[in-house]
A and B are shown apart, each in its own frame.
Chain A
Amino acid sequence: MSIGRRVTADPDTNASAILASLYTWGARLIGGILMVGIIAQAATFFFSFRDESVGQIIAIWPTVSMLGLWAVPVLSLSVAGCTWVIRDRRDWTGWMAIGIGVFLSSLWILQ
């Protein structure tokens, strides 16, 4: 199967749509987390707002947002790659997507 032919195909194929959808939903989630954290921090400054739940959000927010940003490409590629390969085992780019996802995850494990 020619990679060239696959790439020149309509980008809105079902396979690509899966990756697009995963990226979009991942981005919405991490975007929401980032905005909640910024609003929580701004609230404490502007209104001298002190609350236990806001304090907890501010405490865990940086870690959650950092890991969330990293997880968007890793999980999207891994899941989309698996879906492509299940549909067609000869799909080279599906295997490549899984490979990149595994490589990025292995960096975490190796550290």
Chain B
Amino acid sequence: MAELLTLVGIGLLVGFAGGTLGVGGGFLLVPILFSWLSWPMLASVAASHFCGMAVSASATGNYSKAGLIDWRLGIVMEVAAVAGAAAGAWGVRWISVDLVAVAFSAVASWSAYRMWSVREAPPGPDGVPRVNVTGKQYAIGLPAMFLIGGVSGVLGLGGGVFIVPILTELMHLPIRRAVGTSVFMVGMNAAAAGIVYYLHGDVPADSTSLLAGGVFAGAMIGSGIQHRLPAVALRRGFAIILVVLSARLLIRALS
């Protein structure tokens, strides 16, 4: 019984964070499962992918109802991310994972600074956020998403923590729209990686199902209340996550 309550409780917290900020929650879940609950690293990563799918499946409906998902933009960006993930999986034996971790620690720090300090343009007169993705922004965003796809695969991240900064800083999407589109995208990323782990027998299905149930409920609550939070609070919450991620990547590389 204690296991059921613990796993569902952890899932609720991770799902709430994921549903509110548009991330899969792997950056929180993997350390909790690995360090706190002593799960093997492979099982922790595998379970985090299924929880990413749960965040996406649960929160996408709420963001969709609010008109905050750019479906077509998400699909186009995802093609680049999937191609990058394949390239990353192929190239991982020739590149230094520690060097990549240090480089992306710096990228995460810069993104955190931007998220914290930059104010986005106010919404239009009808209250709807302005969205104007141009061809030039695609020319910058697609290679960036390819790179993120590759690096996420190398570092074992779902990618949501980097997708939102790309959508806000490079594609100039308002934070809410970036979070909604990211929620949709992390589900595809997680599905690609998760099924491979599952078919190799690395997913502890009983425990992961309990986690995923909690994550599903938490993400539904998080995505439901997200629209009540001011945009600046969302940006700053995301900045804090990026600082934590940056520190983790640096510690990993140095240790």
Interface residues of chain A, those whose CB is within 8 Å of chain B, are: 2-4, 6-8, 11-12, 16, 19-20, 23-24, 26-28, 30-31, 34-35, 37-38, 41-42, 45-46, 61-63, 65-66, 69-70, 72-74, 77, 92-93, 96-97, 99-100, 103-104, 107-108, 111
Give the size range of B's interface with the partner: 35 or more
Query: Of B4, B70, B195, B213, which contacts A7 at CB under 8 A?
Result: B70
Query: Of B70, B192, B205, which contacts A11 at CB under 8 A?
Result: B70
A62 in contact with B208 (CB, 8 Å): yes
A62 in contact with B196 (CB, 8 Å): no
Decide yes or no: A7 and B60 within 8 Å by CB, A19-B71, A34-B216, A104-B191 being known contacts.
no
A30 to B58 CA separation, bound complex (whole angstroms): 9
B56 proximal to A (CB < 8 A): yes
B79 proximal to A (CB < 8 A): yes
B206 in contact with A62 (CB, 8 Å): yes
Interface centre among A4, A7, A93, A97, by most B CB within 10 Å? Answer: A7
B6 proximal to A (CB < 8 A): no
B205 in contact with A66 (CB, 8 Å): yes
A72 in contact with B57 (CB, 8 Å): yes
Query: Of A31, A42, A100, A111, which contacts B216 at CB under 8 A?
Result: A31
A4 in contact with B134 (CB, 8 Å): yes
Interface centre among B1, B82, B209, B217, by most A CB within 10 Å? Answer: B209
B72 proximal to A (CB < 8 A): yes
Interface of B is mostly: helix
B138 proximal to A (CB < 8 A): yes
B70 in contact with A104 (CB, 8 Å): no
| Complex interface bits, B133-162 against A, C-beta within 8 A gives 1, otherwise 0 | 111001000000000000000000000000
Q: List B contacts of A24 (CB < 8 A).
A: 60-61, 64
B225 proximal to A (CB < 8 A): no
A111 to B132 CA separation, bound complex (whole angstroms): 41
Q: List B contacts of A34 (CB < 8 A).
A: 54, 209, 212-213, 216
A78 to B191 CA separation, bound complex (whole angstroms): 14
B108 proximal to A (CB < 8 A): no
Query: Of B1, B60, B131, B199, which contacts A27 at CB under 8 A?
Result: B60
B220 proximal to A (CB < 8 A): yes
